[in-house]
Structure 1
């Protein structure tokens, strides 16, 4: 009887812990829904890998070229918040050394201006949750640049079937960067058992942002790209901008520093140095994080009218509300096109196709046109929702967030930008050209950029319900 009571109390404790950490209040400043601000000097940036049959692929990349340029011109302040900042599995000579190049760029700027405030924020996956050291982080710290590995524990749990047990049995043990003895699935250094126990929590600071100052003022950049060698050939998108929205982005990053127990003084000082006047612009921008991104996506899709066009290019699409919203938009007479990664490759490993092939089946059966990015080992990592209205107005949503439960339901940390403009603006024309070129260049064209739905179609009902279960429970990496 005593044993049964003990087991019952343990189960009760785990269940209660799981429920609490699944629904607890968010740390202050998250799920940020910024005001509409004038967007000044916007510049849309894209990365593409173009395939020409038997020839070497051509890399057409703009995002990190711009990031390195902005850092080189910084005068007093740099803030970098990037999810993957490592060279794990850098065993392909065709990869670009983004992690070391970013590290060198930040150190060079600090050495040139020793009084400059440089802050790096990243995710603990780069040290396998404390089970290894990051040579890039160590170099930055030795150069006097603080690196904040985001505290994920204050966030809600995305995989409660595991996280309740983990919080009771394992969280309190911490980790050790010098006691590793198990093979590392992500890198070369051996890791501890505690790293693998932390991994199934499946949550992250997934943001990809940059804020710098210069002689002309402050500039920000929000992107889907990571300074990760293994991701260096992925397709991605980003937006560089100036104006009052930079302050909103800084406020959202201040919240990450605060929840991690880090010093916010440099960000507070930078906020005080931003100009108070608001310049005029016919285009607007709104900073959105976490579930505010979902609200923007629903607003863009749900208010689309017959004759409007919705184009979605995204790495993961599985969020049930957005899948239903896309189907409903199609039924209303909105022209909907969905361009997806086939979820076939991940850094040299083969994937199952879940969730995109299952979501694609559902959309295709509902009459929505779906195509696949043509990739050869890299990923179609873009996160872009573009709406072009019959009356000439346009909206864009782009940034770090995939359209999944984990990315949009206040579980991961995410940052995107929601823009309003016109179909004739330079920014929208480039976004539409980026999408249209991938959509239209199929088999028989040079280069081949997309494939028809049938190329990666998976009509398995078993795998469809597997995706639905994984999405609902959090037992997934997407």
Structure 2
């Protein structure tokens, strides 16, 4: 009997430790510089960029992709500094029997290596996520090549961040975190070719990431920044995405936000200094990271009223605060139209539609107009919300963040920008033309499908969505 009591006592102590570890890593202080909100500053030379994959009435695919071409231009124009923070930077994840993919990771690696060779004194820093090595289970040849060329590669230290899946991560941190990882294990790679260890799977289940997708570089006209939803990932090369390119004071904030990641991940000091130049014009912008993005989104929605418009294109929409804000805006008389990815395609695997189909059903019942992007193997990976007021002003929030708990509650690393100005500005006209083209299927193209095509009224999946969003036991 005493032995049994002793075992229960040991189990109780262990569970107490797990609970303490779990609670601490949900609420622990963020590394300094995260959850950043920049000053509202004048935007210079701001441009909207888009990657669109679509079909005609006969099913023939067309690709109008601008973002990577702009990345190439920015990099080849640089002479002093390149800072790249990219979530997926790899050739993993393609479908073996699928279409031939554009080798984005290889092209970007070649470009960076060539630029470093041409300008040896240039500082090039690549910040990325451990998913590209399957959390230490595989060697990433392109990252090794970058380092061999004198380019600094900083791997984000995810353990310093808060836990998005605490039920699992509390046990992992207590028992398994300290074992590290080894390469070339015995298990199939969940993300592509090769073999990995069990420890790669165990780290993967923490469901956290440096999900940012940004580029900073000098140019003949000063420093430029690019904030995007697009990855340098071969398996994502056909995805539809959006980005903005800009110059001016906001680039300083973008650099500061990246200094924060480097500081807790052990990377080099950024040498770039953006001059204190002023920029003329009516367009203003603000850098937002992590939970400051959520605050910006909700504030933007709450400012809309009767006769205003909200337009959204989103890969994942599940955050309950944002859904409530959208429903409230609809009740105020705001004209809302939303295009969602149907959540059915993931690099050759078929998904179950969670969370977008459950959220879309809720919004549709509330009277909000929802359509689906017509994906056929690729994804509608764009992430933005735009508002237009009857008074002639517009707002845009665009970047890496999905509108989910994991992306907006200081769990992932994310970067978006908020832009405001007159609706007649070319940027907002381009955004409006882009959305209208998708919504109305211009020129006999098939961009979007009616809500009924992927309507899903399953109560089981609805409950599953709520549980996954609440507890973090999900990849969204």
Q: Which residue of 2 aligns with 1:121?
A: 127
Q: Which residue of 1 aligns with 2:250?
A: 245
CA distances 1:340-361 after superposition (whole Å, capped 9, x unpaired):
0000100110000000000001
After TM superposition, give the deviation of residue 279 of structure 1 in Å: 1.9
Answer yes or no: is 1:83 the counterpart of 2:87.
yes
What does 1:137-216 align with in structure 2 at a 5 Å threshold? 137-178=143-184, 180-216=185-221
After TM superposition, give the deviation of residue 364 of structure 1 in Å: 0.6
Q: Which residue of 2 aligns with 1:270?
A: 272
After TM superposition, give the deviation of residue 277 of structure 1 in Å: 2.6
Answer yes or no: is 1:28 the counterpart of 2:32.
yes
Answer yes or no: is 1:10 the counterpart of 2:8.
no
Q: What SS does structure 2 have at the residue aligned with 1:468?
A: helix
Distance in 1 (alpha carbons) for counterparts of 2:257 and 2:142: 25
Q: Which residue of 1 aligns with 2:348?
A: 348
Structure 1 unpaired stretches of 5+: none
Q: How many residues align?
A: 470
Which of these residues, 42, 48, 51, is aligned with residue 46 of structure 2?
A: 42
Q: What SS does structure 2 have at the residue aligned with 1:94?
A: coil
Distance in 2 (alpha carbons) for counterparts of 1:93 and 1:68: 23
Q: Which residue of 1 aligns with 2:266?
A: 261
Q: Which residue of 2 aligns with 1:225?
A: 230
Q: Which residue of 2 aligns with 1:423?
A: 423
What does 1:365-404 align with in structure 2 at a 5 Å threshold? 365-404=365-404
Q: What SS does structure 1 have at the residue aligned with 2:178?
A: helix
After TM superposition, give the deviation of residue 55 of structure 1 in Å: 5.0
Q: What SS does structure 1 have at the residue aligned with 2:223?
A: strand
Higher mean alpha-carbon deviation, 401-410 vs 142-151, is at: 142-151
After TM superposition, give the deviation of residue 416 of structure 1 in Å: 0.2
Distance in 2 (alpha carbons) for counterparts of 1:371 and 1:21: 38
* TM-score, normalised by the number of residues in structure 1: 0.97
Q: What SS does structure 2 have at the residue aligned with 1:467?
A: helix
After TM superposition, give the deviation of residue 89 of structure 1 in Å: 3.2
Q: What SS does structure 1 have at the residue aligned with 2:444?
A: coil
Distance in 2 (alpha carbons) for counterparts of 1:366 and 1:270: 49
Q: What SS does structure 1 have at the residue aligned with 2:19?
A: helix
Higher mean alpha-carbon deviation, 55-64 vs 353-362, is at: 55-64
* TM-score, normalised by the number of residues in structure 2: 0.97
Distance in 1 (alpha carbons) for counterparts of 2:260 and 2:333: 41
Distance in 2 (alpha carbons) for counterparts of 1:7 and 1:68: 56
Answer yes or no: is 1:466 the counterpart of 2:470.
no
The answer to whether the 8 A contact 2:152-2:267 is kept is no
Q: Which residue of 1 aligns with 2:475?
A: 477
After TM superposition, give the deviation of residue 461 of structure 1 in Å: 1.6
Which of these residues, 432, 446, 450, is aligned with residue 448 of structure 1?
A: 446
Distance in 1 (alpha carbons) for counterparts of 2:12 and 2:357: 41
Q: Which residue of 1 aligns with 2:322?
A: 322
After TM superposition, give the deviation of residue 146 of structure 1 in Å: 1.3
Q: What SS does structure 2 have at the residue aligned with 1:254?
A: helix
Distance in 2 (alpha carbons) for counterparts of 1:424 and 1:387: 13
The answer to whether the 8 A contact 2:239-2:379 is kept is yes
CA distances 1:98-124 after superposition (whole Å, capped 9, x unpaired):
000000000000000111100000000
CA distances 1:195-218 after superposition (whole Å, capped 9, x unpaired):
011111000000000000122211
Cα RMSD for the two superposed structures: 1.0
Q: What SS does structure 1 have at the residue aligned with 2:321?
A: helix
Distance in 1 (alpha carbons) for counterparts of 2:48 and 2:279: 20
